[in-house]
């Protein structure tokens, strides 16, 4: 039986981006069709992440340089103005289709509609099995997404707090600043948060992230009502789409010749659940680690340290998310509205974002009237 260099299991953005950065000969297995996973993701990313994603700029649909952040339980509203755009909306499906095409042009073998059933490390190789065959590879990357079935079997998956993310299209019927992202963070009413990303004067994308077991469709409808009460009149018009949104971290990405990457390894921003930041900063160094193992070498200390720093950064974000939710349970209503100006809002590292917002305050209004979207007793 022939032996290949690297197998990537999972043809979503994590698997495609990792394969894009590999120097080794690679085969990417996808249970569905390439580009289909991107349709389940809204594509709200930071401007920095956009620059790190190859080919993504051509699929940018809107840029944002201001943010409204509301916490009804605290009667808190922050209006943040950034001198430079800090986030954007991209078409994830189109971008993944472009990446797939680019990989094929580079000679990467893409195998669609093929679900890998088993990955088994053996001496100096890894056996990958699917319904119609099997093959040995020198290294394997599990970018299977969530739930991480194969990663769990091999002891690479870490526990994650999985939530449900749902989003849809909306028709705007009134005035709305097209360069402003709006977020309502409400552990009590939404059991999570909702967001609104305008595309132009008449179109927007609206989404929610809520607990598993909650009625996500009802929560999406409630979020529409919330935004209406703060001045955004709209009608939900699209078919809701979504999937799991994770909160968690990982201690390691590899064991022997097998690596986990992306959602399979909880490489997420825990406060928002965004996964593109983690894979965009880690794709190159992790690909170097995989290349080294596939060639029979050990990853360099420099690359190993770089990956470790990224994982620590994501772990700090996990701790922040836990502490943030815990604080919301104890802090009394503040009745505060603040306006903050920053040079460029850090949209990926949330602890930095919070520090920027607080140090950039230009106007603070105390005894702010109870938010109109505050639940009334």
Q: Is 168 helix (H, G, I), strand (E, B) or coil?
A: strand
Longest dimension (CA), the chain: 73
What is this structure's pTM? 0.92
Per-residue pLDDT of the chain (377 residues; tens, 9 = 90+): 346 799 999 999 999 999 999 999 999 999 999 888 868 899 999 999 999 999 999 999 999 999 999 999 899 999 999 999 999 999 999 999 999 999 999 999 999 999 999 999 998 899 999 998 999 999 999 999 999 999 999 999 888 999 999 999 999 998 889 999 999 999 888 899 999 999 999 999 999 999 998 898 899 998 888 898 888 999 999 899 999 999 999 988 999 999 999 999 999 999 998 999 999 999 999 999 999 999 999 999 999 999 999 999 999 999 999 999 998 888 898 899 999 999 999 999 999 999 999 999 999 898 654 444 444 33
Q: Name residues whose C-beta falls within 8 Å of residue 372's C-beta, 6 or more positions apart in sequence.
A: 229, 230
Yes or no: domain 63-87+161-245+329-365 corresponds to CATH 3.30.9: yes
Helices (H), 196-275: 216-229
Write down the pLDDT at residue 114.
96
Alpha-carbon span 337 to 47, nearest angstrom? 26
Q: What are the structural domain ranges in the chain?
A: 3-41+92-158+250-324, 63-87+161-245+329-365
Please list, in sequence order, all residues whose beta carbon lies within 8 angstroms of the beta carbon of residue 151, skipping any fewer than 6 positions away.
142, 144, 157, 260, 264, 265
Query: Residues near 353 by Cβ (< 8 Å), separated by ≥ 6?
Result: 345, 346, 347
Q: pLDDT at position 38, please?
A: 66
- What pLDDT was estimated at residue 370? 47
Structure tokens of 143?
A: 């970018």
Q: For residues 169 and 238, is the Cβ–Cβ distance under 8 A?
A: yes
Q: Give residue 367's pLDDT.
A: 63
What does the pLDDT read at residue 196?
A: 97
DSSP 8-state class, residue 212: B
Q: How many angstroms separate the CA atoms of 116 and 130, rounded?
A: 5
Q: Return the pLDDT at 36.
A: 82
Q: Which CATH class is domain 3-41+92-158+250-324?
A: alpha beta
Handedness of CA 117, 103, 105, 27 (dihedral sign): negative
In contact, 271 and 265? CB cutoff 8 Å: no
| pLDDT for the residue 357 | 94
Distance of CA 143 to the CA centre of its chain: 14
* CA 80 to chain centroid: 22
């Amino acid at each position: 039986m022939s032996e290949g260099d690297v197998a990537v299991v999972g043809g979503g953005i994590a698997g495609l981006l990792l394969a894009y950065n590999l120097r080794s000969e690679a085969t990417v297995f996808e249970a569905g069709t390439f580009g289909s996973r991107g349709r389940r993701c809204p594509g709200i990313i930071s401007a920095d992440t956009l620059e790190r994603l190859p080919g993504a700029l051509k699929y940018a649909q809107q840029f944002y340089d201001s943010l409204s952040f509301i916490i009804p339980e605290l009667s808190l509203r922050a209006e943040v103005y950034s001198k430079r755009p800090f986030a954007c909306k991209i078409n994830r499906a189109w971008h993944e289709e472009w990446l797939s095409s680019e990989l094929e042009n580079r000679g990467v073998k893409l195998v669609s509609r093929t679900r890998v059933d088993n990955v088994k490390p053996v001496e100096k190789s890894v056996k990958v099995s699917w319904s119609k065959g099997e093959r040995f590879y020198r290294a394997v990357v599990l970018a299977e997404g969530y739930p991480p079935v194969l990663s769990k079997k091999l002891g690479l998956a870490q526990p994650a707090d999985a939530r449900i993310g749902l989003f849809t299209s909306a028709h705007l019927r009134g005035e709305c600043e097209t360069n402003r992202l709006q977020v309502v963070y409400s552990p009590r009413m939404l059991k999570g948060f909702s967001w609104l990303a305008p595309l132009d004067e008449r179109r927007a994308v609206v989404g929610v992230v809520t607990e598993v077991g909650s009625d996500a469709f009802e929560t999406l409808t409630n979020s529409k009502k919330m935004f209406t009460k703060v001045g955004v009149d709209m009608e939900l018009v699209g078919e809701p789409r979504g999937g799991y949104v994770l909160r968690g971290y990982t201690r390691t990405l590899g064991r022997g010749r097998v690596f986990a990457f992306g959602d399979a390894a909880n490489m997420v921003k825990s406060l928002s659940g965004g996964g593109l930041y983690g894979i965009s900063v880690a794709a190159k160094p992790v690909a170097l680690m995989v290349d080294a193992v596939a060639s029979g070498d050990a990853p360099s200390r420099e690359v190993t340290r770089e990956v470790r720093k990224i994982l620590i950064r994501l772990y700090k974000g996990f701790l922040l998310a836990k502490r943030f939710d815990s604080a919301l349970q104890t802090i009394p209503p503040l009745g505060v509205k603040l306006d903050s100006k920053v040079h460029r809002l850090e949209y990926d590292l949330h602890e930095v974002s919070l520090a920027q917002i607080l140090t950039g305050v230009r106007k603070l209004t105390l005894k702010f009237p109870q938010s109109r979207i505050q639940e009334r007793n």
